[in-house]
């Protein structure tokens, strides 16, 4: 029996284990210090009442033979797919229910979607990047080309006439940089993909954080994207579903390659290798789109964005270059005084008892940068910024 030898080419990531070790060591040596974590990529606010109510109801339904639900459609219940369509309609994007697939999260589908593509494709991935894009392609042995994010392009790389590839990942608002493509910039990617018959894998997991009405919250707001893009979204950061697990993937019927609709391939993949998301969870997700549910999750997002705003204000005051923070829960900053990512990590930890994430963990171009996240408690964010201001001003 031969193992998938591509797995042996994966690099072990020691990013988060090294962070944990350094923080633990620091805490042991400084037990009196109140360490504030601005590095976590997980939400902290509980599920909103509308979602909780819907899930309690659904659990009760599962207890009666008249309302019990067994196997559902692998692609998700019609009620939730319709709610997603209605949400997109409010963005000016008209979808058919058959174009929406309910998933257990964007991460799963971003990995599993690769099943429908040949291993012999060249993949374009921005650097810095969410590491899952890279690892899932290494696992399949695909050729990867990195496209550079930098201060010069505000970490929003664009293709030029030399950019060649078959599949490209775009995450906007971006993790880790918080940068958001404009419609004009996204159009450059869409036109590029249309010309080359490439496919854009568009990760819109943070779209709900966009407050600027001129910025696109879906790739399908760009004409022609329905012929070249698959969009992945999630309730994780929109509604605090990181431990509840639900997302959705959109594959337009118009997206056809070598005469095969990719929607049909993905449906076949899902009906064969997936059995759908729990009924209880789908009912919870549906509640996110109700009038009251939507107001409740918007309030949580407002809370996180206020944290981002507090951090952004401090960085502006200190004259530190950064992206994100306005339409994103992430802030990506240039380490002051030309410190490396890990030097700044140690500096923040030792001088301020504040923990963030070294940018070097997200790719070569992340060296010298640093990620802060807005998912913490407001009081802690204020306190952390006060400490940072004191040592850097």
Backbone angles phi, psi at 70, to 5 degrees: -90, -140
Residue 260, interface with a second copy (CB under 8 A)? yes
Contact pick of 76, 105, 178, 363 for a second copy (by CB under 8 A): 105
- Sheet strands side by side (includes 369-373): 322-324, 330-334, 369-373, 357-358
Residue 197, interface with a second copy (CB under 8 A)? yes
For 261-288, give one letter per residue: b (16+ CB within 10 A) or e: ebbebbbebbeeebebbbbbbbbbbbbb
**How big is the CA angle at 43 (ends 219 and 371), to the nearest 5 degrees?**
70
Which residues are CB-contacts of 174 (< 8 A; sequence separation ≥ 6)? Answer: 126, 155, 156, 180, 206, 324, 328, 330
* Nearest-approach distance from CB 336 to a second copy, in angstroms: 30
Residue 10, interface with a second copy (CB under 8 A)? yes
Q: Are the beta carbons of 188 and 172 closer than 8 angstroms?
A: no
Contact pick of 87, 101, 117, 220 for a second copy (by CB under 8 A): 117
**Binding residues among 267-296 for a second copy as defined by CB under 8 A:** 268-269, 272-281
* Nearest-approach distance from CB 68 to a second copy, in angstroms: 4
* Nearest-approach distance from CB 92 to a second copy, in angstroms: 27
Contact pick of 9, 33, 46, 223 for a second copy (by CB under 8 A): 46
* Nearest-approach distance from CB 109 to a second copy, in angstroms: 9
Reported as type and span, the H/E element at residue 169 is strand 167-171
**Binding residues among 218-247 for a second copy as defined by CB under 8 A:** 240, 242-245
* Nearest-approach distance from CB 238 to a second copy, in angstroms: 14
What mask of x and - would describe binding to a second copy in positions 338 to 377, judged by CB under 8 A? ----------------------------------------
301 by Cβ neighbours in 10 Å (0-12 / 13-18 / 19+) ranks as buried
Specify the residue, 45 or 310, whose C-beta has the smaller distance to a second copy: 45
Stretch that binds a second copy, among 86-94, 252-260, 301-309, 324-332 (CB under 8 A): 252-260
Contacts 24+ apart (CB under 8 A), 58-65: 58/279, 58/280, 58/283, 58/284, 59/280, 61/279, 62/279, 62/280
Residue 15, interface with a second copy (CB under 8 A)? no
Residue 393, interface with a second copy (CB under 8 A)? no
* Nearest-approach distance from CB 368 to a second copy, in angstroms: 27
Stretch that binds a second copy, among 17-25, 113-121, 148-156, 360-368 (CB under 8 A): 113-121
- CA–CA gap between residue 111 and residue 274 (Å, rounded): 13
- Residue 56, token pair as written in the block: 């309690």
**Binding residues among 130-169 for a second copy as defined by CB under 8 A:** 132, 135-136, 139, 166-167
| Residue owning tokens 């990620």 | 371
Specify the residue, 154 or 242, whose C-beta has the smaller distance to a second copy: 242
What mask of x and - would describe binding to a second copy in positions 56 to 75, judged by CB under 8 A? x--xx-xxxx--xxxxx---
Residue 121, interface with a second copy (CB under 8 A)? yes
Mind giving me the DSSP string for 214-258? TS-SSGGGSTTGGGTEEEEEESHHHHS-TTT--EEEE--TT-EET
């Amino acid at each position: 029996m031969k193992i998938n030898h591509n797995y042996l080419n994966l690099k072990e990531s020691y990013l988060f284990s090294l962070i944990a070790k350094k923080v633990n060591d620091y805490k042991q040596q400084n037990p009196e210090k109140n360490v504030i974590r601005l590095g976590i990529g997980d939400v902290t606010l509980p599920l909103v009442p509308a979602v909780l109510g819907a899930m309690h109801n659904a659990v009760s339904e599962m207890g009666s033979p008249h309302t019990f639900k067994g196997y559902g459609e692998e692609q998700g219940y019609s009620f939730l797919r319709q709610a997603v369509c209605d949400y997109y309609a409010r963005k000016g994007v008209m979808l058919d229910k058959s174009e929406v697939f309910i998933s257990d999260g964007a991460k799963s589908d971003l990995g599993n979607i690769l099943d429908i593509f040949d291993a012999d494709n060249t993949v374009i991935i921005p650097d810095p990047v969410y590491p899952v894009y890279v690892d899932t392609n290494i696992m399949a042995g695909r050729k990867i080309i990195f496209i550079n994010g930098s201060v010069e392009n505000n970490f929003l790389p664009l293709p030029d006439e030399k950019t060649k590839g078959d599949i490209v990942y775009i995450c906007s608002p971006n993790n880790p940089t918080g940068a958001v493509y404009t419609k004009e910039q996204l159009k450059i990617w869409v036109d590029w993909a249309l010309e080359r018959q490439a496919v854009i894998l568009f990760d819109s997991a943070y779209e709900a954080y966009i407050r600027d009405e001129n910025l696109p919250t879906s790739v399908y707001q760009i004409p022609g994207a329905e012929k070249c893009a698959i969009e992945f979204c999630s309730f994780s950061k929109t509604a605090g579903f990181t431990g509840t697990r639900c997302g959705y993937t959109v594959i337009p019927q118009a997206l056809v390659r070598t005469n095969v609709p990719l929607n049909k391939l993905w449906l076949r993949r899902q009906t064969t290798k997936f059995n759908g998301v729990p009924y209880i969870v789908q009912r919870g997700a549906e509640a996110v789109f109700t009038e009251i549910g939507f107001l409740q999750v918007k309030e949580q997002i407002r809370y996180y964005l206020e944290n981002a705003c507090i951090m952004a204000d401090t960085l502006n005051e200190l004259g530190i270059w950064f992206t994100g923070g306005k339409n994103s829960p992430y802030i990506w900053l240039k380490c002051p005084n030309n410190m490396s990512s890990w030097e700044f990590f140690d500096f923040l930890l030792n001088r301020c008892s504040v923990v963030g994430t070294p940018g070097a963990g997200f790719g070569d171009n992340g060296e010298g940068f640093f990620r802060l996240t807005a998912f913490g408690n407001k009081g802690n964010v204020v306190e952390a910024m006060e400490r940072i201001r004191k040592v850097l001003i």
